[in-house]
Amino acid sequence: DKGNHRHFMQKEIYEQPVVVAQTLRSYLSRIDARVSLPIPEFDLGAIRRVTIVACGTSYYAGMVAKYWFEQFARVPVDLDFASEFRYRAPVMEDGGLALFISQSGETADTLAALRHARGEGQKIAVVVNVPSSTMARESDLLLPTHAGPEIGVASTKAFACQLAVLAALAANLARAKGRLSPEEERDIVRHLEETPAALNAALANDPAIEAMAHVIAGARDVLYLGRGTDYPLALEGALKLKEISYIHAEGYAAGEMKHGPIALIDENVPVIVIAPSGPLFEKTVSNMQEVQARGGKVVLISDAEGIAQAGEGCLATIEMPKVHPLIAPLVYAVPVQLLAYHVAVAKGTDVDQPRNLAKSVTVE
């Protein structure tokens, strides 16, 4: 049932504040301001390396997690697409954790990778949205997302809930490694608890995004740029646009532009820049200005501070709430989802059932 929404995708985008709150409730303990995961049958503190494997949008959630695990827990992280991982003779030492992320829990490539990692003596953790799925049954540590059934082929709310679980796992791993003080953990819990309200504030941009969608709908190519955890979001934004609007899009690490892709820039290529104010802002803005100097039309997604500093000369700006960097990837997912959605609606494509795609990919 779509309720009063036109498409399941739109409904699922709007469900995010509620389902993220729901997911966080099972991973945060309010009373002692701690992260609480299901107790694994192995010692998280003994983990020396994490291998993250997934496909598509779930892979981009894994990419955000790589930044978090390395930053908070100082554990080295290997990340791969399931379809590459399985066939590249990956090196996995004893004492490693292999983490699989999947909405459906049935994606054939991810499942094959899971079984391969088990054969290599890895502990198996899974982040899945379907608790009765095959991956859930074959795990040593089951970390469910509580997004509820996701019907739209383009993943939205499952991605947000995956990030919520992965942030909790990052904090738990950091504590197990002796790298997180109780004060730091309390801060992380506090920031995560701010997420649902920030998601609501992000959704308030819907009319502004809808109003500019026709400009993007007329483009043949669109670029998305970001740094740090906004880089996976740039990739995710491009994937969303491609799959439902059929417009060619690419996500790039902002600093990579000058190593090639900037040659593509002219006044016909809109560039979506994902840049919350913060430590990486200045650098991203200088990449953005390189684009503008070549006639590129920029849509800047930032907070009031960032827009005040760099919004001038942009085709459009989308003003996000000011959020802690930890939760920024969850919150900044909303405008890229809404943009893809409205562009697809403007183009008249089948938003919930894009051509050539299936919700669950059960062939390798």
Give the residue numbers marked as catalytic: 359
Report the residue count for the chain. 364
CB of 155 to ligand F6R, least distance (A): 3
CB of 56 to ligand F6R, least distance (A): 2
Out of 75, 125, 154, 333, which residue is the one contacting ligand F6R (CB under 6 A)? 154
Which residue number places its CB atom closest to ligand F6R? 56
243 is a contact residue toward ligand F6R (CB under 6 A): yes
Residue with Cβ nearer ligand F6R (16 or 58): 58
How many CA atoms, within 13 angstroms, populate the side-chain half-sphere of residue 243?
22
CB of 12 to ligand F6R, least distance (A): 11
- Extract the tokens encoding 23: 């997911």
361 is a contact residue toward ligand F6R (CB under 6 A): yes
125 is a contact residue toward ligand F6R (CB under 6 A): no
CB of 53 to ligand F6R, least distance (A): 10
10 is a contact residue toward ligand F6R (CB under 6 A): no
Out of 83, 107, 145, 287, which residue is the one contacting ligand F6R (CB under 6 A)? 107
Angle between helices 195-203 and 182-193 (to 10 degrees): 30
Q: How does DSSP assign 313-337, residue by residue?
A: T-SEEEEEPP--TTTHHHHHHHHHH
Residue 246: which region, alpha, beta or left (left: phi > 0; alpha: psi -120 to 50)? left
| CA distances in angstroms from 121 to 91, 111, 115, 258, listed in the order given | 11, 16, 10, 42
55 is a contact residue toward ligand F6R (CB under 6 A): yes
Residues 6+ apart with CB under 8 A from 111: 134, 135, 138
CA distance 92 to 316: 46
CA distance 319 to 85: 38
CA distance 315 to 364: 42
110 is a contact residue toward ligand F6R (CB under 6 A): yes
56 is a contact residue toward ligand F6R (CB under 6 A): yes
143 is a contact residue toward ligand F6R (CB under 6 A): no
CA distance 216 to 360: 29
Residue with Cβ nearer ligand F6R (174 or 244): 244
Residue with Cβ nearer ligand F6R (79 or 180): 79
CB of 183 to ligand F6R, least distance (A): 35
| Segment contacting ligand F6R by CB under 6 A, of 15-23, 67-75, 101-109, 188-196 | 101-109
Residue with Cβ nearer ligand F6R (152 or 321): 152
147 is a contact residue toward ligand F6R (CB under 6 A): no
**Do 321 and 338 contact (CB within 8 A), yes or no?**
no
Residues engaged in binding ligand F6R (CB under 6 A)? 55-58, 102-104, 107, 110, 154-155, 239, 243, 360-361
